[in-house]
Chain A
Amino acid sequence: MTATQDAPASVTEIGRDRRRKEDQRLITGRTRWTDNIQLPGMLHMAMVRSPFAHAKITAIDTSAAKAATNVVAVYTGKDLDESAGVLINAWAITTDQVAPDHPPIPADRVSFAGEIVAVVVARTPAEARDAAELVDVDYEELPAALDLKEAAEDKVLAHPDLGTNKSALWVFDSGEAGTGGNVEDAISKARTDGILIEREYRQQRLIPAFMEPRSVVVDPTGEQLTMWSATQIPHILRFALAATTGVPESKIRVIAPDVGGGFGGKLQVTPEEWTAWWVARQVHKPVKYTETRSESLMAAHHGRDQWQKLTLAAEKDGSVTGLKVELLADLGSHVAIVGGGVPVLGAFMFNSIYKFPAYHFACQTVLTNKTWTDAYRGAGRPEATYAIERLMDELAVELGVDPLEVREKNWIKHEEFPFTTVAGLEYDSGNYEEATAKAKANFGYDELRAEQKRRRDENDPVQLGIGVSTFTEMCGLAPSRVLGQLNYGAGGWEHASVRMLPTGTVEVVTGASAHGQGHETAFSQIVADRLGVRFEDVEILHGDTQVSHKGLDTYGSRSLVVGGEALVKAADKVIEKAKPIAAHMLEANVDDIEFKEGRLGVRGTDQGVALAEVAMAAFAAHDLPDGVEPTLDSDATYDPVNFNFPHGTHLCAVEVDTETGQVKMRKYTCVDDIGNVINPLIVAGQVHGGLMQGIAQALFEEAVHDESGTLVSASFVDYLVPTAADTISFDVDHNTTPSLTNTLGTKGVGEAGTIASTPAVVNAVVDAVRAFGVSDIQMPCTPERVWRAIHAGDAGGADPTTGGAAPHFDESTGHEGQTDRTDGAGQ
């Protein structure tokens, strides 16, 4: 038998800038957001939330709400039973970690402003919201633990029963681990005979602010209880529901339909989901809850929020001899699912791309009466990168050399890979020299430095600043063994299935769960190449545990490097299964069968069959060799042995108006090494969006609480997600050294931009005004803070932000001013 079909075109899909498969439904409004779901008899929930950061609930009167029109039920924390379950922390970073219980609705005490105290169930969302206003709650206010440093001293307890706010102290010491020397020795030597840089930096509290508010629908009427949720983690959600609410896992189906962004913010198991799960089982009807934006900003987890105490020791020539990092990390009111693990993910990255001989890291996690914190794009690594890249700039100033020069002196040279770092990780590949050279050329580094000098010499009121960030990160969460050593509650593998349908198309199931990343496109490209089928003939299925029964979801830049590799392995198994059938069809020896571009051929002849024909033969199963299963379908679960380590050189130029403190982005250039690229278009998009979020931390965003613990920035009027008018277009390029830890040679890209950009921008702002005696400006570098820094000649941003963190200093709005972006909004 010979092939009857044309061989597929041999254009490789990997590396092509394919337009996305998922766009069609999104640009035409044929979307499936959780909030779009309507089911017969569906009821709607509204939450009553605490206005106090810390208070005893002394009484709740629900009678008026219960009597309101079309209200079906009202529940408080006292009504919940064991079947309501609890919210889990999956990563106790130390075995003695202190964590308060976390019921979906507390019965007697609230511990942050925004916590749910009652839920109203009604026939329409409006009726539920109206009735929620009628719930009368009596509180007895308690002193609240709000300031992170004071909370760490246990001045006021966030949870009095626990006796302390200190949750866990996590320590790594290179001397003890045998990965390097003793940092104290390095510090004392530098104190007498070298350079010692001691700094304290603030990582302000941020809000992920995904555009789709969280939403959950629970249908208890089927044989399986079904939850739709705007989540990044349907599989972990299902596991946690089973583990805590007594419903067998096999009776639970979780679906993440179209999900409108996450950035770590939807990597959570939430009180809202648990409440909906329980309520639906009480009322025996489908229920829906969709949060408002202010509820989202108040109650969905926040990110960052650290104080970083840093000591960098160096020789007089600029060779770094040691780095000591002491962190305080704010957990908020509860230890969230990853919670204290977020700063620990940064523990391995403070040494970044450098060859430091000694390293010490200690992180104290602290409970407060603020919104809980957890992963936000980068999760631990932006904080680490910020600290070291700010310090390297300070070292360059101390030495009087160019910031790139001191970095080069300390970084790992390309011929030194693989390199085991002082934090104990093995970096497989990279080329910092090449990426930096390319970035300098693209940026016009020397020209901009010349312009900077000219403006300084001329005392130009608008000064130019140039910021550098040479970052690396570890990504692809995975290695299960490493996660186990860190006491993480789960593995990090990923699962894939490839199903060969009899008519020649291919169904691929992945355990990764996309929410904007473009998996359907990039994964189709990988499978199309691997099996020699058309891109259009591959369908990617995900996000529904009834279809994708096994997976660990999407976060930590893992989908491609772990999930993509699982696809490759599953596809390879399909080919292996096809070989004996093809050999039988071709009357050849199985050892002579080779697979190329979608065809199984007999080596050295032009005899062959298309994979689709073998799939059809397996489907018919009329004439298969003895003992061969009638299917080509294959599964693979992949667990990598190592992380991968993207890196890059980011250069930022800003113009600072020294008279107003206004910062204007002038140019942003980056050259990232993310290994082999599957789809350059998607990669560029990930970089752009990532950059913007990092820039937002540097210049715009901050979650601000008032002295009673109320979130002041609880709307988009005050929480300043940048607009198109706030920024510029980016100059994005790549330098490629393939990763050696996976067969595709890829590295993660989802978080790179965010990790790299924050220090590049702040370094640029500080560089612009250093001549005024400024060596630090607290983030976000608002015009007010920049202006104060210039005029006080110090780290002017030391005061906490008051009011909103205004990006545009405008005399008409004053120091407290906020930009009201409803103007020009087409009204």
Chain B
Amino acid sequence: MAPHTEQLTRPAVRLRGLTRSFDGRTVLDGIDLDLPAGQFTALLGHSGSGKSTLLRAVAGLDHKVTGSGRLDAPERVSVVFQDSRLLPWRRVLDNVLLGLDGKDAERRGREALAEVGLEGRERAWPNELSGGEAQRAALARSLVREPELLLADEPFGALDALTRIRMHGLLRELWKRHRPSVLLVTHDVDEAIVLADRVLVLDKGRIGLDLTIDRPHPRSYRDPLLGEYRERLLAALGVTEDHA
């Protein structure tokens, strides 16, 4: 394993001139971006600005998309989708273990489920879980592989506000324990501010704003010092407060 100092200096993700287009329409227009190892980054942008396109490129899921540029990403990447994407014909534990090998896989799977508070639900079928529980199971599935990079595309978008707040705490907690680099796509400015240490705004195919949020955790939505960040992000997104 690489020594700790090297991990800090070498970025986990490095994009150089990343370009992606659909039918001649450029969605990502030469993006340069470094994500340091272990950093929690949020990616904001208008609907259709290309957030998912960028995330799918980093995940290596865009085989059929035309594009160019250099992309370095770690070997172990996990993705959390907006839907939990549990296979309905496998029990929860078997879903968590999907693609996992090794003698102690099952033990690790149980531990991961316990970590997200789903102890005792190992034998449940996915369609017996609530939306929040299913998303927690999906989180367990991506963490059990101990990813170096965790990509999440609006993972809480389908959840109610209360569940979402609890999931924020959980995600942050899990991140602290496992320290993967995180790239969280969201369209919720507050979610980005509360969770991430760095917030990017994708605009016209480029990173329009790169903001480091230097506030201690856990953060509260009502922290007045976060209001300043919120205003800058909303301005970058072209939203003024009285319209919001």
Do chains A and B interact in one complex?
no
Chain A interface residues (CB < 8 Å from chain B): none
Chain B interface residues (CB < 8 Å from chain A): none
